[in-house]
Amino acid sequence: MVDIRVISIGALAGNPLWGERTGVRSGHATSTLIRSGDVTLLVDPGLPEQALVARLGERSGLTPELVTHVFLTSFHPDTHRGIGAFAGAEWLISLEEREGVGIPLVQQLKVAVDRGEKELAELLKHQIAVLHKCKVAPDELASGVDLFPLPGLTPGLTGVLIEEPELTTLVCGDAIATVEHLRKRMVLQSAASVPRARESFAEAIQIADVLVLGRDNSVVNPFDAGNIAGEV
């Protein structure tokens, strides 16, 4: 049996579907806890460490040292702001995402150093250190818990698929950001590739009964999988 629960509901810094054109809050990803067998997996620890540890205790009764693995659906500060609280866990990310962000981060650091932008350089060094600690995730994270590629928003964005006898749940990451984006069948316009992001969106709503959204709660898939092909 797999246990799935949202630890912290995420938020976009600015949601254009609410009429927000700029960032009006601190963005952070939805954090989801998945337990299967000996694996206790936290997906996208987006809140700051102290806040996330408090939410973990409130929602699961667990302390950070009981989390065995952390998985990042994409590599963005909003998905891993609190990852340092889980220093004893194994940090994981997809191969495509790790390779896709590593070289650009190093290039950005070089530019920041050359320009004497010390604060930015320190931030980038921290990001590189986090990425360096992230190992390439296996296709199967635990029994019944598998990677599900959802490229588009970032080249290697990858969800987590939990298949149970009567229910399939997909932790989407930012492939589907909020319930408004889901209902309007819209992807984030910041996507590296909007066409690929739309394809991933379509695949997500075709496969899952329940969707854990990247910046929102878990929701029942409102679409009939048999009638959605090509509509996104």
Whether residue 232 lies inside any domain: the answer is no
CA pair distance 91, 98, nearest whole angstrom: 12
Whether residue 91 lies inside any domain: the answer is yes
* pTM, to two decimals: 0.93
Q: Note the helical H segments in the chain.
A: 49-60, 77-80, 95-114, 118-133, 179-184, 194-207
| CATH number for position 65 | 3.60.15.10
Whether residue 148 lies inside any domain: the answer is yes
Whether residue 18 lies inside any domain: the answer is no
Task: Evaluate whether 177 touches 214 at the Cβ level (below 8 Å).
Answer: yes
- Work out the widest C-alpha separation in the chain, in whole angstroms: 56
Whether residue 42 lies inside any domain: the answer is yes
Whether residue 21 lies inside any domain: the answer is no
Burial of 222 (0-12, 13-18, 19+ CB in 10 A): exposed
Whether residue 44 lies inside any domain: the answer is yes
Q: Which domain holds residue 63?
A: 3-13+27-227
How would you write the pLDDT of the chain (232 residues) with one tens digit per residue? Answer: 899 999 999 999 999 999 998 999 999 999 999 999 999 999 999 999 999 999 999 999 999 999 999 999 999 999 999 999 999 999 999 999 999 999 999 999 999 999 999 999 999 999 999 999 999 999 999 999 999 999 999 999 999 999 998 899 999 999 999 999 999 999 999 999 999 999 999 999 999 999 999 999 999 999 965 444 334 4
Count of the separate structural domains present in the chain: 1
Strands 218-220 and 210-213: antiparallel
